[in-house]
Chains A and B, each alone.
Chain A
Amino acid sequence: MIKDFYIGKGLEKMLEESRFYPSGKKNKGKEAMSGKEIASTLVRGGVGAAGIAAMAVGAEMVEKGQYGKGLVVSAAGLSAAYLATLNKEKLKSVRGKLKLHAKTAKSFARDTGGNIKNLFSKIDKKMASWKENKPRVVSSGLNRNSKGGR
């Protein structure tokens, strides 16, 4: 279980069952880690949390053959990326979080050549669910109370 941020079951499973092997001259000597370990490390470092989720989304896109142009949306991955960013202490207000959320969504849409309308339609549905859970998400006890679901 990743304790540092809420995460979709699909992505969580993938991270738990994946292993990451740092390579290249810069990473020489670094040990391989599970997806769970590497995600937790990145989150604790305060950077790259969305990145690791984005990577997982990317992997999912490849798996589904949805690479290249066309609609590429993974609501689970996207929400995981968003929720991961919620753990950053610098994000003090819900409004700030929503702004970041919009930015994340847009950048996903842009970089995947995705259909923004469809994307935001899915986001809106997700948002309704997130708003219901707002106290839990906004709570400073996010880390302690995480059960890996939304």
Chain B
Amino acid sequence: MTKLDFTPLNNFMIAEGPRGELYVFMEAKDKDLESPHIIYDGKDHAVLFMNEADGVILDDIHPDIRKKLANSREVRIVETILEDVRHTYFADLKLVKQLDFDFTKLS
């Protein structure tokens, strides 16, 4: 099992738009974007990769949105600083049977 050094996000919002599209609103990380994508197993954690080396753990995903998130193929990421939108981009979502990461040592 791979040890994951990414920071867990303790406070973020997943929103579902009028057409069922999903958004993740989160504090801006200002990382270089290269094929941003999310890996998810349908449970409480997901991992958002901004690029190969940088990413965050979407920790404690709200139970009511997990099924829809698992069925999404892409998610709109909105990075914000206080009240301002910093970056917005699409992230492809890859559904896996089980995340191959060790989340037990998350702070």
Contact of B10 among A26, A58, A59 (CB under 8 A): A26
Closest 10 CB pairs of A and B: A21-B62, A17-B18, A58-B85, A51-B83, A67-B88, A58-B78, A62-B76, A21-B65, A111-B84, A21-B14
Tally of contact residues, A, Cβ under 8 A: 36
Binding site for A on B (CB under 8 A): 8-18, 21, 23, 25, 58-62, 64-65, 76, 78, 80-90
Contacts of B90 in A (CB 8 A): 62
Contact B16 A54 (CB under 8 A): no
Given A17-B17, A20-B13, A55-B78 contact (CB < 8 Å): yes
A145 within 8 A of B: no
Residues 106-117 of A, flagged 1 when their CB comes within 8 A of B and 0 if not, give 011011100000
How many Å from the CB of A5 to the closest CB on chain B?
14
Contacts of B83 in A (CB 8 A): 48, 50-51, 54, 81, 107
Contact of B13 among A22, A25, A62, A81 (CB under 8 A): A22
Kindly state the separation between the CA atoms of A110 and B87 in the bound complex, as whole angstroms.
Answer: 11
Kindly state the separation between the CA atoms of A111 and B28 in the bound complex, as whole angstroms.
Answer: 11
Contact B64 A21 (CB under 8 A): yes
Contacts of B12 in A (CB 8 A): 23-24
Contact A19 B15 (CB under 8 A): yes
A35 within 8 A of B: yes
Contact of B87 among A21, A26, A51, A67 (CB under 8 A): A67
Contacts of B78 in A (CB 8 A): 55, 58-59, 62
Contact of B15 among A13, A55, A81 (CB under 8 A): A55
Kindly state the separation between the CA atoms of A20 and B78 in the bound complex, as whole angstroms.
Answer: 14
Given A20-B15, A62-B23, A112-B85 contact (CB < 8 Å): yes
Contact B15 A27 (CB under 8 A): no
How many Å from the CB of B36 to the closest CB on chain A?
11
Interface members, chain A 33-83 (any B CB < 8 Å): 35, 48, 50-51, 54-55, 57-59, 61-63, 67-68, 81
Contact A35 B15 (CB under 8 A): yes
Contacts of B65 in A (CB 8 A): 21, 23, 32
A14 within 8 A of B: yes
From B57, which residue of chain A is reached at the shortest CB distance? A24
